[in-house]
Structure 1
């Protein structure tokens, strides 16, 4: 079987991550029929020239360049189209450039899981920098009411942030930071296993889950999936909500979405976004604006479906 890896690269500060990701793919794909497509996503720096120097002569790598930053969905769609046209793979493995694979049977395990479940989308056991699970995602907003509430909340956040970064931190970030600190202390405690402290995601990540939401840092699509859609990801978003819309597709079309703990990938997370900003408030503003735009796109996507079905 043929395996196509698609990696989205942005900003020269993440070049080391992209190299490490490529090296990890190569190390676990020895003797496998694989190919890597790297999308240079409109970086305004040395990224393209460095990637050309590194990989132009590599038979196992194709380098695709976009003159502008297409965002997550469209950048990955560009890479997926290239991979499909070039090698017609049995599996599209779309992973962030800040991920690393160390599992020696990663590729063969995908085929084994497919033979059992015949999945459309497979989500691996993604471990973050603290070795906490990021899969499965337990809840996505899939109603107009939930999305309208999200839009109102984000609009208010942006208004507060635009008035004062300090007030924004007091209102929204202080409590969240304290909760994260307490959680990390509890998880790191040697008594953790004795007292049974574990989140629902921690518990669910130990078992195979079906029809579940999956984290976008690593997604494995079978040929059955990508032959159903013009684009692997819905093309309306720039950044954020891609996973939500993917889950909506799963529910809408009855796709087989599988989370499997037996296939593992490590995620350093947010490196591409972090590389854009040095000031916390600038990054926060960028995130909220893009989340708000994607919430509206997602809401309109669902609303269009409802109208087609004859609902108001």
Structure 2
């Protein structure tokens, strides 16, 4: 590509100040030779760190801090930054990323542009390295409506147990059932449960037609021309990737996975900060999974009519 393209980075911030600063610093370092803008969206952090960021970067070139008056969740929070990068900063590519994502490559911009020239993608996902050295799991398709309903039922049952007054007993029961399920899989009475390592096949190869991980997504001029928002705005948290997959599939625009582009994902920094106990964190996750699964099922059922 002869003409230099402008890259926008949308970073969703919630409470974890040091992590957001590390994310910003990595972008500044790796994009030093490129044309770029960083849009930080503070999702109404209750600890005042949004205002701290605004003060910290008020005189910093290429960094804008947007302060949301309410916690918009994942989809709407990122959409706020995407709209600003698209309409006010006129970015050609927009990389929407969690604040616990770290860029690893000095030639990030060149790699993305080369991938776009080769594949003409609408949305691209990079290779995701995890903090323990593993690779992110790969998801090649959305589960069936029946499968998603079963998944929702599992979450609903678990939510009843974890919010019960006899939670310790239910917790022992649920863990015992899981151990039994693992054992039955090992002796081949039931299909063996997949390990994380079993889900990483293909992570070193170019892929298309798959559900990309939402921690880091690169939206190209094809997508920016067609959509004024990054994500379907119906959910608060979870299942945004599947809804994006359905949106692109229905529009006939390609989503691709390019392992040449690499990022580090530190995972769950914000929710670990907010919820000091695993029980509270699990309740929050279960409640939002149930709501978002209902929305995903509605979209799937409409598409299949």
Answer yes or no: same fold by TM over 0.5: yes
Q: What secondary structure is seen at the aligned counterpart in 2 of 1:45?
A: coil
Aligned mates of 2:300, 2:204 — CA distance in 1: 32
Q: Give the C-alpha shift of residue 219 in structure 1.
A: 0.4
Q: Give the C-alpha shift of residue 136 in structure 1.
A: 3.1
**Corresponding residue for residue 188 of structure 2:** none
Aligned mates of 1:264, 1:293 — CA distance in 2: 32
Pick closer, same or farther for the CA change 1:271–1:179 going to 2, 3 Å: farther
Q: Give the C-alpha shift of residue 230 in structure 1.
A: 3.4
1:111-122 paired onto structure 2 within 5 Å: 111-122=113-124
Q: What secondary structure is seen at the aligned counterpart in 2 of 1:6?
A: strand
**Corresponding residue for residue 67 of structure 1:** 69
CA RMSD of aligned residues (A): 2.2
**Corresponding residue for residue 10 of structure 2:** 6
**Corresponding residue for residue 39 of structure 1:** 41
1:75-154 paired onto structure 2 within 5 Å: 75-134=77-136, 136-141=138-143, 143-154=144-155
Residue 262 of structure 2: which of 254, 261, 264 is its match? 264
**Corresponding residue for residue 292 of structure 2:** 294
- 1:73-110 alpha-carbon deviations (Å, 9 max, x no partner): 00000000011112221111001000111211111110
Q: Give the C-alpha shift of residue 250 in structure 1.
A: 2.9
Aligned mates of 2:132, 2:55 — CA distance in 1: 33
Pick closer, same or farther for the CA change 1:173–1:259 going to 2, 3 Å: farther
Q: TM-score, normalised by structure 1?
A: 0.86
8 Å contact 1:64–1:79 — kept in the other structure?
yes
**Corresponding residue for residue 254 of structure 1:** 252
- 1:278-311 alpha-carbon deviations (Å, 9 max, x no partner): 11111111100000010111112223334xxxx3
Aligned mates of 1:228, 1:147 — CA distance in 2: 29
Range moving further from structure 2, 144-153 or 293-302: 144-153
Aligned mates of 1:225, 1:178 — CA distance in 2: 46
Aligned mates of 1:138, 1:200 — CA distance in 2: 13
Q: Give the C-alpha shift of residue 215 in structure 1.
A: 0.5
Q: TM-score, normalised by structure 2?
A: 0.88
Aligned mates of 1:178, 1:129 — CA distance in 2: 30
Q: Give the C-alpha shift of residue 35 in structure 1.
A: 0.2
**Corresponding residue for residue 223 of structure 1:** 221
Pick closer, same or farther for the CA change 1:280–1:165 going to 2, 3 Å: farther
8 Å contact 1:138–1:201 — kept in the other structure?
no
Q: What secondary structure is seen at the aligned counterpart in 2 of 1:269?
A: coil
Aligned mates of 1:80, 1:88 — CA distance in 2: 10
Q: Give the C-alpha shift of residue 16 in structure 1.
A: 0.6
Pick closer, same or farther for the CA change 1:116–1:40 going to 2, 3 Å: same
8 Å contact 1:125–1:265 — kept in the other structure?
yes
**Corresponding residue for residue 274 of structure 1:** 272
Q: What secondary structure is seen at the aligned counterpart in 1 of 2:234?
A: coil
Pick closer, same or farther for the CA change 1:135–1:262 going to 2, 3 Å: farther
Pick closer, same or farther for the CA change 1:4–1:172 going to 2, 3 Å: farther
Unaligned segments of structure 2, at least 5 residues: 183-194
Range moving further from structure 2, 118-127 or 294-303: 294-303
8 Å contact 1:274–1:283 — kept in the other structure?
yes
Q: What secondary structure is seen at the aligned counterpart in 1 of 2:66?
A: strand
